[in-house]
Structure 1
């Protein structure tokens, strides 16, 4: 198994879990040399398809797991070239796309989602068996910094540390949340499945934003507040459609990485996705049912880490 992007947030998470599995030998592909000594790391130039294909073939790679951060027109070709290299490598039969999110209909796609869609189109033109691990929303920010995570702290609607919440619509829409290390466990388990679908679903918990706020209030010992007059802010669909939503205190530290307007539009769009039911998964064809021994970390588990903090 080769992990591309193993030094990134998702890649390191998958690598940590995969190293504990004795069924698979793992190598890491990286644009830069790694200082780590416990995993065989190979520098890969994704602009050179033949070179990457040679790396995969010479190492007998059966499955490529992509964790390349696909975020713009520059990074998207890297993953597409990796697909082309995997297709040229004779021992390589399977490919996991770097699309660890919910499946979004084409007419609702924007930004990074559009960039990642190019990989799926390329994969459909190959003979590779491939999949995307579908997680709904990643839940790590509910537990950071009290839970192990390599992901950046970027809470969407509930800012536990600052006791603030912005509820979209009615707040009754169900969301499938997945802790990053649970996702990695399901992915590694799925490597042994005899057949893959294009989408493999998993989740750690299914809850509504109202239920999360109620739990957080109970655990932190008081109402969540935004400003001096509001316990919770409610954002209407009309407001979200304008690309606006209530600013939580935790957003401010993200503006140095993501400009305020872009973050607002993105988070408002994700909130609309939730209202449209795009972050809820059917119970059938879910990896949780195939691997019942994998114990997941629920939202309540994460919020409980905030007790007495």
Structure 2
């Protein structure tokens, strides 16, 4: 049993991790948050309100903490500065392990909004702390918006966002690159379960790679047709077409979308997992199971 602090544990992927740790009933849990989290407090979670601009305040909040897991939204200079402050505070407070806020794949050099992640990662590597970064591919929950059953569960940490690449409700799909390019997809709930399980591992590798499923977007479209009976109109976009779009003037959300498509086309979301074998008791949900559960009435 160790004391774990989850920064940003009141929502998003942080909340998935907090829930998974609570289920294990193995560790003392602290949530760092900018605001009160009454739903967690009523479950006995120690919620500590922090100002991420204050290393001193963060250090005090992390006293006695063994593992710090950052789930700070990694968009923009403010978030990068907040995470660097968290890392510095973890060092001063005497923490042993640190997890930076990654939760995607090796595409920090492609996606503008992820540029700060690379700066933090370099700081983590030179921190002297034990560390790992979680690589989970594309969140499977991106195919949850508009589903016909249990939408809250289908969305997981992906709430209030549009579908990505394949919009099952609209019946449309943009397939980047080769239709056969495989990607790794993982439900956010399963990411949380794997993260909770790694707290029991005696050592950490630099990267903890998780795979819920590995298949091509073309195969996802076919599964949607076969399992859900949905006709999906597909449009293929080559790397060159994506690069041409990105060379133009786009608003930040559009740019993020097309940069992620480019990362898929370039194979950045295809990798061999490491944690699935180490945590073999966890059986993540497959894409077929996800579609059957949330896009059919059976």
Aligned positions of 1:80-119 closer than 5 A: 80-90=84-94, 92-104=95-107, 108-119=109-120
Do the aligned partners of 1:243 and 1:269 also contact (CA within 8 Å) in 2?
no
Are residue 292 (structure 1) and residue 280 (structure 2) matched? Answer: yes
Is the partner of 1:74 in helix, strand or coil? helix
Match of 2:162 in 1: 154
Match of 2:130 in 1: 129
Root mean square deviation of aligned Cα: 1.9
Match of 1:249 in 2: none
Do the aligned partners of 1:63 and 1:93 also contact (CA within 8 Å) in 2?
yes
Match of 2:182 in 1: 174
Deviation at 1:260, TM superposition (A): 6.8
Is the partner of 2:183 in helix, strand or coil? strand
Do the aligned partners of 1:46 and 1:78 also contact (CA within 8 Å) in 2?
yes
Deviation at 1:115, TM superposition (A): 1.2
Deviation at 1:112, TM superposition (A): 2.1
Do the aligned partners of 2:111 and 2:259 also contact (CA within 8 Å) in 1?
no
Aligned positions of 1:135-214 closer than 5 A: 135-144=136-145, 145=147, 146-147=150-151, 148=153, 149-152=156-159, 153-214=161-222
Are residue 303 (structure 1) and residue 291 (structure 2) matched? Answer: yes
- Aligned with residue 52 of structure 1, among 58, 73, 96: 58
Deviation at 1:168, TM superposition (A): 1.6
Distance 1:271 1:51 in 2: 39
Structure 1's unaligned 5+ residue stretches are 225-230, 245-258
Aligned length: 282
- Aligned with residue 41 of structure 1, among 22, 26, 47: 47
Match of 2:71 in 1: 67
Larger deviation, residues 26-35 vs 183-192: 26-35
Is the partner of 2:245 in helix, strand or coil? coil
Distance 1:188 1:154 in 2: 28
Q: Compare the two structures and name the one with the higher helix fraction.
A: 2
TM-score by length of 1: 0.86
Match of 2:18 in 1: 15
Is the partner of 2:76 in helix, strand or coil? coil
Structure 2's unaligned 5+ residue stretches are none
Displaced runs of 4 or more, over 6 A: none
Is the partner of 2:240 in helix, strand or coil? helix
- Aligned with residue 268 of structure 2, among 256, 278, 283: 278
